[in-house]
Chains A and B, each alone.
Chain A
Amino acid sequence: MAAEKKGLQLLDFWVSPFGQRCRIAMAEKGLAYEYLEQDLGNKSELLLRSNPVHKKIPVLLHDGRPVCESLIILQYLDEAFPSTPALLPAGDPYARAQARFWADYVDKKVYDCGSRLWKLKGEPQAEARKEMVEILKTLEGALGEKPYFGGDTFGFVDVAFVPFTAWFLSYERYGEFSVAEVAPKLAAWAKRCGERESVAKNLHPPEKVYEFIGVLKKKYGVE
């Protein structure tokens, strides 16, 4: 077997919000890595070898060893590179627990509900719209008056949720609502995050995401 590649590599897919979490985290931490775009319709040997259980991206390879699941990757980056800016607040177990709770909430709720918004029609779509508004309001409640979920610091929950801000436009169009209206503080947070270099450089424009969803819809035969 050839010697394992040194350093950090990221197996990813351009529009994936889960992958973007990792890109943003590494940018915030000033960590260099090799970005390897994956073809999800024709999965590479490397991807299948690195994530045999789920065969999904993102996968972080560190000196050839794979770490899977985006939130697990974020925590790994904090722990393996302790001299870089921490995503989870160091030395505050309660704040860390709150951050893990909210990142988990984002994971469980946002992508699935968003998918139902653009996949479904009629009553089920209306249900998804109602749920999405509820989710956004709940997250706004968690943000409160703070500039970031992490307080004054752009942290774990911010990184976990910010990629979905590129999907807000699509949620708004499919759900026929306005994020700025239902969750103004969240909309302001999204704008604030968008001004960070790590975010600006690693998110795709909302129109591109909307276009991508259009492609997905055709692929799944959803008209």
Chain B
Amino acid sequence: MAEEGKGEVKLLGLNVSPFAIRARMALRLKGVSCEYLEQDLFHKGDLLLRSNPVNRKVPVLIHDGKPICESLVIVQYVDEVWAAAGDGEGTAILPADPYGRAIARFWAAYIDDKLFPALMGIMKATTEEARAEKAKETFAAVEQLEKAFAECSDGKSFFGGDSVGYVDLALGCLLPWFGAVREMFGLEIIDAANTPLLAAWAERFGETAAAKEVLPEPDKAVEYAKKLQAHWTAAAAAAAAK
């Protein structure tokens, strides 16, 4: 049994948060059942504030009452605690060899440092020029990842090889947001013409059991983006009024 004797697991998340999606998928890949607690980030609850006092963000994994924060820290924690678990072959999220692990960590960090901010920049932009600039950065990042896929996958289905791995989780959680950006701005972040490897990978990723269970539809991301935009506009107006 996957989590016998491994204790009580709770996850504080948001359905569309790519970071929470990573954590949820990692648990799902390991066959770990957890109590999922959807958070309202506009009115943060007591448990969230107590469990992540430093950043006050999701996801937070609470294992036997002890909180773990930051999505990639959580994914590595899950990989280490439920090392031998899972419902298929190759359920290790990070590969065993040190160099492979370093490469996986590098690309996950790249996604967080370069791709995610640029993608969110498309949402946040208040002028066409600013949006175009962020779109350009996003496309550049995705181009790098297309090359990375060729190197990491070594002809197999995922960055992690035959099964979903660390970089797959790090990038796959953004797919609903790629969809949202397509709906809202007509921008195709990955497509068969420009990033054929990633386009094919995205389909395979979406077909996995874990993705089917956890990834929301793009329109959920669109809905949330609109809430965020309203929030940013209000915050900017309040700041300007000072």
Interface, chain A (partner B; CB < 8 A): 53, 62, 65, 67-69, 72-73, 75-76, 79-80, 93-94, 96-98, 100-101, 104-105, 138
B68 interface residue, CB < 8 Å from A? Answer: yes
* Cβ contacts under 8 Å, A101 to chain B: 68-70, 73
B98 x A100 contact (CB < 8 A) = no
Q: Which of B63, B80, B106 contacts A68 (CB 8 A)?
A: B106
* Cβ contacts under 8 Å, A104 to chain B: 70, 73
Per the bound structure, the CA–CA distance linking A97 and B74 in Å amounts to 7
Q: List 15 A-B contacts (CB under 8 A).
A: A53-B110, A67-B102, A67-B106, A69-B106, A72-B106, A75-B101, A76-B98, A76-B101, A79-B98, A80-B98, A93-B80, A96-B76, A97-B73, A104-B73, A105-B54
* Cβ contacts under 8 Å, B42 to chain A: none
Per the bound structure, the CA–CA distance linking A67 and B98 in Å amounts to 10
A69 x B109 contact (CB < 8 A) = yes
Q: Is the interface of A mostly helix, strand, loop or mixed?
A: helix
Report the nearest B residue to A94, measured CB to CB.
B66
* Cβ contacts under 8 Å, B99 to chain A: 62, 65, 67, 76, 80
Per the bound structure, the CA–CA distance linking A156 and B162 in Å amounts to 32
Per the bound structure, the CA–CA distance linking A68 and B109 in Å amounts to 11
Q: Which of A80, A97, A138 contacts B68 (CB 8 A)?
A: A97
B56 interface residue, CB < 8 Å from A? Answer: no
Report the nearest A residue to B83, measured CB to CB.
A93
Report the interface size for chain B: residues with CB under 8 A from the other chain. 22
Per the bound structure, the CA–CA distance linking A96 and B54 in Å amounts to 18
A76 x B144 contact (CB < 8 A) = no
B105 interface residue, CB < 8 Å from A? Answer: yes
* Cβ contacts under 8 Å, A53 to chain B: 110, 144
A96 x B77 contact (CB < 8 A) = yes
A75 x B66 contact (CB < 8 A) = no
Interface, chain B (partner A; CB < 8 A): 54, 63, 66, 68-70, 72-74, 76-77, 80-81, 98-99, 101-102, 105-106, 109-110, 144
Give the most central of B66, B70, B98, B144: most A CB within 10 Å: B98
A69-B105 contact in complex given A96-B80, A100-B76, C-beta closer than 8 Å: yes
A97 x B101 contact (CB < 8 A) = no
A76 x B66 contact (CB < 8 A) = no
* Cβ contacts under 8 Å, B70 to chain A: 100-101, 104
* Cβ contacts under 8 Å, B80 to chain A: 93, 96
A97 x B76 contact (CB < 8 A) = yes
* Cβ contacts under 8 Å, A67 to chain B: 99, 102, 106
Report the nearest B residue to A80, measured CB to CB.
B98
* Cβ contacts under 8 Å, A100 to chain B: 70, 72-73, 76
Per the bound structure, the CA–CA distance linking A13 and B154 in Å amounts to 34
The smallest beta-carbon distance between B149 and chain A, in angstroms, is 14
The smallest beta-carbon distance between A69 and chain B, in angstroms, is 6
B54 x A75 contact (CB < 8 A) = no
A75-B73 contact in complex given A93-B80, A93-B81, A94-B66, C-beta closer than 8 Å: no
* Cβ contacts under 8 Å, A98 to chain B: 68
Per the bound structure, the CA–CA distance linking A68 and B102 in Å amounts to 8
The smallest beta-carbon distance between A5 and chain B, in angstroms, is 16
Considering the complex of A and B, which 8 residue pairs feature the smallest CB-CB distances, nearest first? A79-B98, A93-B80, A80-B98, A97-B77, A76-B102, A100-B73, A97-B68, A67-B102
* Cβ contacts under 8 Å, A62 to chain B: 99
Give the most central of A62, A80, A101: most B CB within 10 Å: A101
* Cβ contacts under 8 Å, A105 to chain B: 54
* Cβ contacts under 8 Å, A96 to chain B: 76-77, 80
